[in-house]
Structure 1
Amino acid sequence: MDNQAERPGYQFAGWYVDEARTKRINPGGKLPSAITLYDKWIPILYPVSYDMNGGTNSRKNPQFVSVESGVIALHPARKPGFRFDSWVLEGERISVLPERISRPIRLHALFAPLYTVHFETDGGGILQDREADENGYLDSFRPPMKFGCEFTGWFLDPECHWPFDISEPLTQDITLYAGWKSSWYPVTYDTDGGINARRNPSRYSNSREDIPLYPPVRRGYRFTGWQDVRGNILRAIPAGMMGPLKLKACWRKIRSHRKEDL
């Protein structure tokens, strides 16, 4: 009887007299003239070693594999100040261990610099470049500010057509562009008995030019200007002004020239 049978990835465990392989043959016993023997094989456990390159391995990664392990997903390693790139097996990048392994395995951890984000704020507050974490995620941070404008989010293009989702991991170095819209401020008028001009704005936004204000009308009075809450007389909303605006019409009574009034 040949006890030197071979099967790649397995260790021969002996001959058995039952198909379930629970009753091993007695080497010193007498065999009947006709008998069927069943061979039993045990998968060999092969060690998996890791070259961590200064990093720390995941506890989920296997320490042993066998020819019966099947495909095994590999988990990323960690290294402070770097992001995990991939595992390398015999010069090839892999993300899983292949099935039917019948030899010891040595994996090498490959790391790369963290992804960097550059910010273009289009006149807003300056933000320094930031690095994503080892998984490619950006930590939350305050958006920039810009006078007279409301921040609408980060975009992947200068025209602000393609929004950036901060909850998604980065896959490369990128530049983000700040999106803005003008802030609108209400304008309220106290005409003090007069009728306001329809052309006067009910709101305004930060502008580089003065915004004209038109006179109201009131019988028997001459309009002398709009007065703000600080007492300033305005004939236009000044360029660069921001915030809600309350205006009151100032009048001067027109003297009558009729004889009965003399």
Structure 2
Amino acid sequence: MQEYKKDYLKTNYNKIIVFCLILFFGIGLLFSSNILKEEVKAFYPSSPDEVILTLNGDMLTPSGPAVSNPGHITWYYYRVPYFVTNNDFSNEAIVRYQERIKKFEENEIKAINLNDFTWEANTVYTLWLFGNIWDDNSVFISNLIYYVPGRTVSNEPINTPGYSYKLSDKPKGSNDDLTIDGNIVTITGNSIAGDLKISYFSGVDNTFGTLAVGHVDDVDVNVSIDLSYLPLAQYTAYKVYFEGLDYYSNPVVMPEWIYSISPMLPLPTAPQKEGYTFVGWYYDEEYTQPYIDGTPIFEDTTLYAKYEINTYTVTYILNGDTYRIDAVTYNSYAQNFEISQTGYTFSGWHTDAECENPYDFNIPVKSHLTLYGRNIINKYTVTFDANGGIVKSGNAVQIVEYGKPAVAPIVEREGYTFKGWDKVFNNITNDLTVIALWEINKYKVTFDANGGIIKSGDAVQTVEYGNSAIAPVVERIGYNFKGWDKSFSSITGDLTVTAQWEIITFKVTFIVDGVEYDTITIEYGTMFYENKSVQEILGTLSAVYSDAQKTSLFMPTSAINEDITLFAEVDASLRGWLDFALWFQKYWMWLAIGAGVLALVITVVVIKVKGGK
């Protein structure tokens, strides 16, 4: 059995060796994969606010929620001897591979003293804390701390912007380059290896030195580094350059740049010049070669201040809104112009929004200026002419804004009907007189002949207000026309005018014994014997004749239509009375006079008698 085993071992020795090698290789691969996994995870930060590093002196101290509860987390302090760009932990961003300097197991995390570690002189280190939670493969990564042994440390970007000035250009035909844009340094090259270096001269302590701040190793590179994160001093000149080898071990030196956090020369405050703005300092009086702030001065130099004349804005505000903005150079003049708008009057330009203080355009502009103007709407006078009528209500004279309507008053005129106005006034654009239009009233005038007839003219007439009607010619048999009962010289309404007549009368004279016995009046158309007065007279007469010879008795058969004289004989029984009546008719005047004288005498006598007593 022992021999078998020996033979088996001899026969399978190589196989056993191969198996063991495979076993150890697998274990090593597994272990190495875990380490790679650990290192790769370090490149991807998560929740940086969960753990914060601060450096006080040489003590690097962690804090934050993840540190307060560190269970199930393995903590590692890392450093990279050059620079991690933009807080990026990816492989491409770390210019030299990271180095773990301290490890803490679960439930433990402490500050570390940087003096416990070895550092390369004049080298920028990036420090951070990495926490690995194995249960769920999550990680915590702190902020970055930038550290230069023996120099200033910073964990925040420098607020002051950097100044850069290029000293030389890259060699012709070279594909390698170093550029600075603000604070960002960019290295580009093909298969190069070497260091980005900064040599410095401090204007504070007059010291010299060189910092290695970045490394690339035989790769095609395009790496950017933000210098504002580096612990650099103010008033210190830094010369930024790249030094290394290409793929064929040929020296590579990229162009040099002068870089400073603040200008090396504290330039004087630019002298003030009224109406001008300081542009900058120039090396020449023609202002063709500007001096760039931060450029080191290595010799006696005269700098010339350049000014540009100020340009000010003149803002024109019209009716509360910006109308236009002009650019006017110092000590020149604002433009005075009017704004034409139909129906408006421009107020001019003023210095106040109320447009009470006019601006004097003869004063030169020396600052920003705001001018105010208004387009004031025109107002016009509208006069309503009643044209012979009167205004019952409303205003005859009105002030109306441009484009607005006037309000017509109510008018009336006796004898007329209102027909409107002679012009429209719904859109007033100037002074205006509007005249009322009237139509004269017409009335019906009727002439009533009142029993007569119209010989000529019109019985019914249409007459305008205030005019007179024309009376027709009328007549009536047996009547005399006496006129009309109403005036029609000024017609003011419908009217009926009636003719006035007076009946014609005839005298009938009775002669008795050659003396007028009596006279009576008989109206036209009256039968002789129907007249009452005739009847009374005939009662006293015995006969009536139509002739003086009393040969023809008066025997009328028709109405009286003319004056007539009749001759009569008195009834004998009335003869004495008739004689007395004739005598009295002849002498009645003398009898009256005598009676009056007698009455006077009696009165005088009576008065005297009474007076004597």
TM bucket normalised to smaller: 0.3 to 0.5
Structure number with greater CO (CA < 8 Å, separation at least 6) is: 1
Structure whose CA Rg is larger: 2
Normalised to the residue count of structure 1, the TM-score between the two structures is 0.47
